[in-house]
Structure 1
Amino acid sequence: MTGEMNLAYDYPLLGAFWTLLWIFLWVMWIFLLFRIFSDIFRDDSLNGWAKAGWSIFAVVLPFLGVFVYLIARGKGMGEREAHQARARQHAFDSYVREAAGTARPSAAEELAKLSEIKARGDLTDEEFQRAKEKILH
C-alpha cells in the first residue's frame, strides 16, 4: 500500500459537526420544498395559472421562490392544514359510525327477525326463549 490511509481521528470534531449541520439543513430544505408544493396543489383558492406560476417560481429560483411563498402565503398554510385535518377526522368519524351501525343490528331488529322465524314455525317456543335471552343479555 503506497497510498495514505485516512483514519477517523484525521477528521476533526468540528468538521463532523459542520457535516451534520449541512445534512440537517439539506433535509429541512427538502422537507420545506415538499410542504410548499403540497400546499400549492392542495389549495383550492388558487387557479391553475397561479399554481403553475408558484411552482415555476419555486423551481427556477428555489430559495427566493420558497421564501417569498412563505412570506406571502405562510399563514394560510397552517389554516389550510388544520382545515384538511378536521375534514379527514370528520370523514373518519362518519366512516366509523357508518361501519359500526351496519356491523351489528340492534336488539330490537334481532328480536323482530327472531319473531318472524318463530311465526314461520322454524323455531319452537323453547328455542325462541333461549335465543331471546341470549339477545337481551
Structure 2
Amino acid sequence: MSQHDFDLPPKAAPDVMRRRTELAGKARDALKQTGLPVCREDSSEGGSGVNVRVDHLADGGVLVEWNTREEFTSEIVEILASGVDPSDLPQEVRHYENVQTCMRETILNILASAGFDVERADAHSYGKAVHVRGSYP
C-alpha cells in the first residue's frame, strides 16, 4: 500500500516496456508509411494526427489514437461544458464523435492490414484508442 492507504496499479517490468516500445515504433512506422500524420513520440503536447504511446501500467500496452486539432477539440469541450442534452447532441459534437470513431476504425484496419494484432481498447479506460497487442512475423 502507498502512504495514502490505497494501492497504486503495478507498473510493467523493464523487459515488457522494451518490447512495448519496440512494438510502438513498428506501429508508428507502419502508420507513417501510409501518409497519416504521426505525432512526434517525444512531444508532450501530442499534437494533431496519430498518437502512438506506451502505457507503463502492467495491464497497459501500446495504444494508438487520433488527435484532432486543438481548436476543434476546444470547441467541443466548450459546447459540452455549457451543458447539452445527451439525447439531442449538437451537430458539432456528433461530427466530432463521428471523426473519432472513423479514425479509430481506419487506424485499426491499417494496422491489421500491416500485420499487427489489434483491437479496440477498453473504452472506459482508453476512449477511442486502438490497442496494439503484437505483430505477426
Q: TM over 0.5: same fold?
A: no
Structure (1 or 2) with the greater helix fraction: 1
Which protein has greater RCO, CA pairs closer than 8 Å, 6+ apart?
A: 2
Bigger strand fraction: 2
TM-score, L = length of structure 2: 0.29
- Higher Cα radius of gyration: 1
